[in-house]
A and B are shown apart, each in its own frame.
Chain A
């Protein structure tokens, strides 16, 4: 069955520290992979996506993610976290947006200490 696992429910990092949010997926075909961020009271904003090609993808707000097929992972990273990064982060996998069936992980809540 198709699934997305985000093993960390809540992570706290200090401002300026590096960040890595984990995402593992189970998908029968070549996956389309996405990271979205949801700030409190807001909708979902697309951070980055991977369809094919270079396995290291750059996104907005200084985020990047690396696709590792052998590990079925698509971890999100940021070298230096800002207080405004505090939010909930969702990893999603699908066959392509037009197919509609995006499968979301349960999310990781990021808190940032001053």
Chain B
């Protein structure tokens, strides 16, 4: 497996502001993923982030709302822009190791007031 860290671990934000979440992995990986887990719900894939190319977004998620950076093979950021209370969720990054299995970070717990 890999050691995956996320910053911040939690935050409380005001509506209309933006928050950037960082994901760091201790080994080089080709593919990193960002998921959202709304309160009491399961995980939904937001986008796939490949180094050196634009992120690929899932239906219902757009780059203007969730811009993603992937500057190298061990790091990615997800920004939640112009936040509203509906953005209150846990945001998790994951990486694909051995080409088949995803391992998850500890998550960022976001509350928007």
Contacts and interface: CB of A to CB of B under 8 A. Distances in A.
A94 to B, nearest CB: 8
Contacts of B94: 44
B63 interface: no
Contacts of B96: 97-98, 100
Dominant SS at the B interface?
strand
Contacts of A63: none
A44 B100 contact: no
A97 to B, nearest CB: 4
B33 A100 contact: yes
Contacts of A100: 31, 33, 45, 48, 56, 96
Interface in B25-62: 30-31, 33, 41-45, 48, 56, 58
Given A96-B100, A98-B30, 20 more contacts: A36-B104, A42-B106, A42-B107, A43-B92, A43-B105, A43-B107, A44-B43, A44-B92, A46-B1, A46-B101, A46-B102, A49-B100, A49-B101, A51-B100, A98-B99, A100-B48, A100-B56, A104-B42, A106-B41, A106-B42
Which 10 pairs from chain A and chain B are nearest by CB? A43-B106, A97-B96, A44-B104, A100-B48, A104-B42, A97-B102, A104-B43, A98-B96, A43-B107, A98-B99
Interface of A: 32, 34, 36, 41-46, 49, 51, 90, 96-98, 100-102, 104-107
